[in-house]
Amino acid sequence: MNNMEVIITDEAFQDIDDISDFIASDNVQEARKVIDMFFECFDMLAKFPNLGVEKRNIKTKNTKIFIIKKQYLVAYKIANEKLIIFKVSYRYQNIYSIL
């Protein structure tokens, strides 16, 4: 099985930057680890795109949610053989209100 191409939207990149900046205000090394963790997760989802759970009760159709270490949520879609990551949030954010 080939890896899907991963596309990260501008909004998702901004989410990653915001999370990283927040963590870096206390611990720069931990912020780097979190960023690495996100991109490792994206690579894994490219190999196994059905790991996420499809959520039918949100506005954005065909959205899958993947939880990373019980801390972060990644919202993505599969379209035209591409994995499109469009939201990354901390677990206490209400991701469903913004999808």
* Contact residues for 80 (Cβ-Cβ < 8 A; gap 6+): none
Read off the pTM: 0.83
- Would you state the pLDDT for residue 70? 87
Which domains occur in the chain, in start order? 5-92 (3.30.2310.20)
Q: Angle at the Cα of 20 (from 17 to 22), degrees rounded to 5?
A: 110
Burial 2-16 (b: 16+ CB within 10 A, else e): eebebbbeeebeebb
How far is the C-alpha of 86 from the C-alpha of 98, rounded, in Å?
A: 11
Greater pLDDT, 74 or 95: 74
- Nearest CA to 40 out of 66, 63, 65, 2 is that of 66
- Kindly state the percentage of the chain with pLDDT values over 70: 84
Greater pLDDT, 90 or 1: 90
